[in-house]
Every structure is written in structure tokens, then in C-alpha cells.
Amino acid sequence: MSVTIPADLSKLRTMLSRGFRATGVEVTFNPDPANPGAVRPHAVVSVENGKDVMKLESADFDFSMYSLSLHAARDQAGTRQLRPIANSNRYWEEMEQLCRDADGKRLAAFKRIDSGIFRFDYNPQSLLTKFLALRDWGSSEFTPGALQRRDANLVEQPPLPSNVGGLP
């Protein structure tokens, strides 16, 4: 059973720094009686720490805007949690780029690798493992530009004989 308590942004940040993780966000916009035609946000953030489940509730503007910056991610153990995203526009642009025709992109990538025309000059598995283990997911090492430079550095290989298959 969860308990709903009034909160502000500093309380939310304190709880997140003390082992709680955000698991849900609900933001609604209600008419502002003091300013006709305007709306006021009202946010409820669900937090838990493994044994306690609470809902933090606030009509504070900063609390609501911070709540809207929370997006689904996985922690080091693979547990789903909500993490603040500094630039929501960039987040959604990158998500759209990754998801648009994902099956076609994946199939084309497998075909290019399987053909033996090129091979990676780095280990994608170790790069992914490093990325997931690193807490600073906004690190310049993992920006789209850095990843594109890695892709551009693929080493071209002569085609394999037709009777040899598999990855290089």
C-alpha cells in the first residue's frame, strides 16, 4: 500500500539520492483560478526503495517540470526506473531516429556485417557494457557524433569466398 505525501522538488531529489527510485509519474494541468485562461501543473511521482512505496504530490511548478523530465531507463542491475533527461527534445529526436524503420535498419546492418565487407575496429559488446555500467550516460564518448565516427571507422575487408559464412 502506498502513502501519498505532499512534497517539493528538494524532497523528491533528497529521496532519490537516498536510494529511492522513481517508478511512475502523473502530471495533470488544471485551470488556474487566480489567472483565467492559464493552467497550473499538478504532479504525482511514485517512488520506492524495495520495501517502501510512496507517492509524492505537488502543485509546485519546478516539481512538475522535473517530473516531466523523467523518462524510462534501466539501472546497472537492469531494473526499470525513471531518470531525469536534461534535454527532452534531444531525447525524443534520438528515440525517433532509433525507432524509425528499426527492423529494416537491423536487417541491413546484419547483412553488411555477415557479408564480410567490413568489420568493427572496436568491440561493440564491450562498448555497450561500458555504456550501461557508466552512470554518466550523457558522456561525450556516447554522443551521436562519437558513435557516428566509430561507424565511419569501420575497416573495409575484402569479400569472403562464397563458401565461407558468418561474422568476420
pLDDT digits (tens, 9 = 90+) for 89-117: 888 888 888 888 888 888 888 888 888 87
Q: Same domain for 25 and 73?
A: yes
Q: Same domain for 76 and 120?
A: no
Q: Same domain for 58 and 126?
A: no
Domain-located, residue 97: no
Report, as an integer, the average pLDDT of 29-47: 91
Mean pLDDT of the chain: 79
Does the pLDDT value for residue 28 go beyond 90?
yes
Whether the CB-CB separation of 47 and 16 falls below 8 Å is answered with: yes
Q: Same domain for 80 and 120?
A: no
Domain-located, residue 166: no
Does the pLDDT value for residue 51 go beyond 80?
yes
Chain centroid to CA 40:
27
H or E stretch at 16: helix 9-17
CA distances from 151 to 17, 88, 130, 148 (A): 36, 25, 17, 5
Whether the CB-CB separation of 83 and 91 falls below 8 Å is answered with: no
Domain-located, residue 128: yes
Domain-located, residue 35: yes
**Percent of the chain topping pLDDT 70:** 77
Does the pLDDT value for residue 155 go beyond 90?
no
Report, as an integer, the average pLDDT of 32-50: 91
Q: Same domain for 78 and 122?
A: no
CA angle (126, 128, 130) in 5-degree steps:
65
H or E stretch at 82: strand 80-84
> How many domains, in total, are found in the chain?
2
Domain-located, residue 23: yes
Domain-located, residue 26: yes
* Host domain of residue 149: 116-156
Least confident of 11-15, 128-132, 146-150, 161-165: 161-165
Confidence band (pLDDT; 50, 70, 90) for 71?
Answer: confident
pTM of the predicted model as reported, rounded to 2 decimal places:
0.56
CA distances from 60 to 9, 43, 44, 45 (A): 8, 8, 11, 13
